[in-house]
A and B are shown apart, each in its own frame.
Chain A
């Protein structure tokens, strides 16, 4: 694994300015990253009340281990993983469990959760577990460590990371791809993590290489973060087979499939996973978190979040405890004007918040706030004029125009069978370019759920 490292290093300098591949189509929304990409990560104050839903990941809810009234210490296990597709939950602050009850989530659903009152007098020192040494640990031990740390994809998908790292029987991983693309407009968390947590990232890569058996790692970074690429390549340890590739800015390059195509020139088969082309993709902030937590056996208690948008006065990149109520967050960053829209995640794929009483979860990568000054909704929807803009935007080369027309006729089966509806990952490029303001992604989401429902019944 390490014998090729010298060649890798030599090629690194060349690829910093040279890219070999790109993915087809895509769009260029305004980046709007300049407000926060120069601001170092700052620690956010502890909210007096922390609200923790037990489902912050894709998969089974965590199983509660604590009772009402119990005192807990920061880093202590509050809920354990319930099965393989689940992760545990750790206390983000030292304090007292005030209530165990249903809590609101961004989807509007109430889920079981914990109301945790922070103790103002505590030093907020962390409890730690048993550390894992990347050199001596087995891949299984590393995967268990990742699961025990409660780590999920921090890019926004919140898929349990250990499940993603598990190489299925009969498959192999050649390329470990570290995703530092951050193609969503406004968001700068990955950018700051790369500029400030290089040691954690490289430590994380050691764990990931070991657990996946990959021969090399590639850190993919978009050209608007050249400083991060330069910084990481200057700090690259000699013994790591890592190359850093700078690719041209294009949305949605941060999507796994698109990034694999951009870096490796391969296409992930329809309905398949990156491992089908011998690759595993891990977000750079997730990698840094693995590198920071595993050596100490800690669990995840906080994450970096970009808080930005025209409605925010104190924009920035903040290290915020998981479970901090959104209302508290917005109070701290000084909102100007009247809030009319809040997104969790970026504006292209993020989710609009309908209730400010929800809290920060592990998958929250950004909070973008708009006031009534900036929001202009398209006043009307025109018929599709077949301009073809969506066809030339779709990174999967689907035909959103045709799919949109079929959706209106509720021809869900035809959409799925003949037009590959189920491949759509809802990046929003089609709706972004549509001059007729047709809510294509909304149509496709609905159609996909109808297809799934029909399949199930």
Chain B
């Protein structure tokens, strides 16, 4: 019998063998098909936007870690996720310099300011996008048709706009299904939306791939399925009710489900563990709230799309949901948190 120095530790001596890094890495994997489809349908422009977003997020995280004299945290993949999500929510012809700025803002303001991974009150990618939307309202609503013939041969000049200049809108711009509905009253077929043959943000267009990615993560146990289900069911029921009341004035529930950033938001953004409630009942309430806000903003608000603000509001409310919904402690009649 040979004994090396005995390791001692306190119980439990077993772990499930999962790590935060693994979970994050699988989220990246689940998003890759969407990334490839975005590049396939929108061409080089989209590739450049997504690459810039990821590079800027990872670089910002690394530099900020170095400045604050901490070991770099880019290895946990969370900055990569933020970058991909940011890239996927931007128009495919969004100027590179703006995208880069968005990445810096997402990580610096959306995450680092709060204390880094685990402390961000909001989904960092949405913080970045919200500020881009406020700063560049024209560029961020300049859409681009999918499957342009020259998408693999040319890069749109607006993408390469010189830093701190507004791009000149060029090429073919295509109205998104949501703005077509909002401003011209035209609805798009839900099948087209599901397969992503419409114009929109790079990653918003193929609902099928988003759902598949989400199913993969749910199956691996890395995603709380209650969040997307609660959001989508709420949107479907709420908008279905309106459609039933007046099918001319209100869009069909299927159109509502598959258009815009709802799928991407419900599956990959609202599910940010840090910024969502912690109890099972809490996340359901959170999802219902986001779903309702999406419908309200889309139908009665001034914007064609409301997913981003709906999720940010949901994030803001989630600590309060955690305060409101707590499990009753075993053997007590009161919930915890009250003395």
A: which residues have CB within 8 A of B? 23-24, 27, 29-30, 185, 257, 261, 267-272, 330-331, 335, 337-343, 347-356, 372, 375, 377-378, 382-388, 391-392, 395-399, 401, 417-420, 423, 426-429, 431-437, 439, 441-442, 445
Say if the beta carbon of B131 comes within 8 Å of chain A.
Answer: no
12 contacts between A and B (CB under 8 A): A270-B331, A271-B331, A339-B6, A347-B12, A382-B117, A392-B280, A397-B329, A398-B336, A417-B339, A419-B337, A420-B332, A428-B11
| Chain B: minimal CB distance from A405 (Å) | 9
Say if the beta carbon of B16 comes within 8 Å of chain A.
Answer: yes
- The answer to whether B20 and A340 touch across the interface, beta carbons within 8 angstroms, is no
B5: nearest chain-A partner, CB-CB: A340
Other than the given A268-B331, A269-B331, A384-B118, 8 more pairs (CB < 8 A) read A335-B2, A340-B6, A341-B7, A388-B283, A420-B336, A426-B11, A432-B12, A432-B14
| Chain A: minimal CB distance from B18 (Å) | 4
Kindly specify which of B180-188, B192-200, B271-279 makes contact with the partner chain. Answer: B271-279
Give Cα A338 to B5, complex, Å: 9
**Residues in B whose Cβ lies below 8 Å from that of A372:** 4
B271-308 vs A: 1/0 string, CB under 8 Å? 00110111110010000000000000000000000000
A24-B330, A382-B21 known; A439+B10 contact, CB < 8 A: yes
| Chain A: minimal CB distance from B17 (Å) | 9
Majority secondary structure, A binding face: loop
- The answer to whether B12 and A388 touch across the interface, beta carbons within 8 angstroms, is no
Residue from A261, A353, A432 whose CB has the most chain B CB atoms within 10 Å: A432
| Chain B: minimal CB distance from A324 (Å) | 15
| Chain A: minimal CB distance from B80 (Å) | 15
- The answer to whether A399 and B6 touch across the interface, beta carbons within 8 angstroms, is no
Say if the beta carbon of B116 comes within 8 Å of chain A.
Answer: yes
| Chain A: minimal CB distance from B218 (Å) | 14
B98-121 vs A: 1/0 string, CB under 8 Å? 000000000000000001111100
**Residues in B whose Cβ lies below 8 Å from that of A441:** 10-12
Which of B4, B6, B11, B276 meets A350, CB within 8 Å? B11
**Residues in B whose Cβ lies below 8 Å from that of A429:** 12
**Residues in A whose Cβ lies below 8 Å from that of B6:** 339-342, 352-356
- The answer to whether B10 and A387 touch across the interface, beta carbons within 8 angstroms, is no
- The answer to whether A437 and B4 touch across the interface, beta carbons within 8 angstroms, is no
Say if the beta carbon of B245 comes within 8 Å of chain A.
Answer: no
- The answer to whether A383 and B278 touch across the interface, beta carbons within 8 angstroms, is no
Which of B1, B21, B336 meets A331, CB within 8 Å? B1
A268-B331, A270-B331, A428-B11 known; A338+B4 contact, CB < 8 A: yes
**Residues in A whose Cβ lies below 8 Å from that of B16:** 27, 29, 432-433, 435
- The answer to whether B336 and A399 touch across the interface, beta carbons within 8 angstroms, is yes
| Chain A: minimal CB distance from B333 (Å) | 9
- The answer to whether B336 and A418 touch across the interface, beta carbons within 8 angstroms, is yes
A339-B2, A418-B339, A441-B12 known; A398+B224 contact, CB < 8 A: no
| Chain B: minimal CB distance from A347 (Å) | 4
B: which residues have CB within 8 A of A? 1-16, 18-23, 76, 115-119, 224, 273-274, 276-280, 283, 326-332, 336-339
Give Cα A339 to B12, complex, Å: 19
- 10 closest A-B pairs by beta carbon, nearest first, are A428-B12, A383-B118, A397-B327, A396-B330, A270-B331, A382-B20, A352-B8, A388-B278, A347-B13, A435-B18
| Chain A: minimal CB distance from B117 (Å) | 5
Majority secondary structure, B binding face: loop
**Residues in A whose Cβ lies below 8 Å from that of B330:** 23-24, 257, 261, 267, 270, 395-397, 423
| Chain B: minimal CB distance from A343 (Å) | 6
- The answer to whether B10 and A352 touch across the interface, beta carbons within 8 angstroms, is yes
- The answer to whether B327 and A382 touch across the interface, beta carbons within 8 angstroms, is no
Residue from B6, B116, B330 whose CB has the most chain A CB atoms within 10 Å: B330
A28: nearest chain-B partner, CB-CB: B16
Give Cα A377 to B23, complex, Å: 18
A257-B330, A353-B8, A378-B15 known; A386+B1 contact, CB < 8 A: no
| Chain B: minimal CB distance from A69 (Å) | 32
| Chain B: minimal CB distance from A367 (Å) | 13
**Residues in B whose Cβ lies below 8 Å from that of A337:** 2
A29-B14, A423-B330, A423-B331 known; A338+B3 contact, CB < 8 A: yes
**Residues in B whose Cβ lies below 8 Å from that of A432:** 12, 14-16
A413: nearest chain-B partner, CB-CB: B339
- The answer to whether A375 and B7 touch across the interface, beta carbons within 8 angstroms, is yes
A337: nearest chain-B partner, CB-CB: B2
Give Cα A88 to B5, complex, Å: 35
- The answer to whether B13 and A341 touch across the interface, beta carbons within 8 angstroms, is yes
Give Cα A125 to B208, complex, Å: 77
Give Cα A399 to B330, complex, Å: 12
**Residues in A whose Cβ lies below 8 Å from that of B339:** 417-418
**Residues in B whose Cβ lies below 8 Å from that of A30:** 14
**Residues in B whose Cβ lies below 8 Å from that of A418:** 336-339
**Residues in A whose Cβ lies below 8 Å from that of B279:** 388, 391
- The answer to whether A339 and B1 touch across the interface, beta carbons within 8 angstroms, is yes
A419: nearest chain-B partner, CB-CB: B336
Residue from B6, B10, B14, B339 whose CB has the most chain A CB atoms within 10 Å: B14
- The answer to whether B11 and A351 touch across the interface, beta carbons within 8 angstroms, is yes
A27: nearest chain-B partner, CB-CB: B16
- The answer to whether B273 and A386 touch across the interface, beta carbons within 8 angstroms, is yes
**Residues in B whose Cβ lies below 8 Å from that of A352:** 6-11, 13
Which of B10, B118, B327, B338 meets A442, CB within 8 Å? B10
Give Cα A205 to B8, complex, Å: 38
| Chain B: minimal CB distance from A101 (Å) | 24
- The answer to whether B331 and A267 touch across the interface, beta carbons within 8 angstroms, is yes
